[in-house]
Amino acid sequence: MAVRPEALAGRRNPAGLPRFLNLFAIRFPIGAIASIGHRLSGACLVLAMLWLPDTLARSLRSQGDYDALLAAWRSPWMAPLEFLILWAFCYHVLAGLRHLLMDVGVGARLPAARASARLVLGLGFAIALVLLVARRWP
């Protein structure tokens, strides 16, 4: 008997029956890991964006402010935070590039998609690490 989906809209579990949704009991493929990473890194970056206007303003105010800004990010205390933002950024850009290519059919087949997911996960971390070290190397 057909039920129009509009009748079920807004009711994700119409009968109130239990549902199996224990995410820890589900074996996610590598693509799903890549995808949740993309979402988490995006959330981090949106949060980091809130500091953008202030950082921009300070960088333009005076020579002193500009130098202080660059110096602040060199302090060892900022290293973990800087790595987090660098990692989020690098990962999000690479994963986004993977999505854009898949949109036009490149690497959309399963073996290629799995390989690109692994590549993006590894490369994102590696590039962030390289950038962090490069910036702080005396």
Interface residue list for another protein (CB under 8 A): 2-5, 7-21, 25-29, 31-32, 35, 39, 42-43, 45-46, 49-50, 52-54, 56-57, 59-60, 62-63, 66-67, 70, 93, 96-97, 99-100, 102-105, 108-110, 113
Residue whose CB is less far from another protein, 81 or 106: 106
- For residue 21, the minimal CB distance to another protein (Å) is 6
- For residue 62, the minimal CB distance to another protein (Å) is 8
- For residue 138, the minimal CB distance to another protein (Å) is 14
Q: What is the DSSP string of 49-113?
A: HTTHHHHHHHHHH-HHHHHHHHHHTTSGGGHHHHHHHHHHHHHHHHHHHHHHHHHTTTT-SHHHH
Instruction: State the Cα–Cα distance between residues 79 and 62, nearest whole angstrom.
Output: 25
**Angle at Cα 39 formed by Cα 13 and Cα 133, nearest 5°?**
155
Residue whose CB is less far from another protein, 46 or 78: 46
Instruction: State the Cα–Cα distance between residues 130 and 105, nearest whole angstrom.
Output: 31
- For residue 75, the minimal CB distance to another protein (Å) is 16
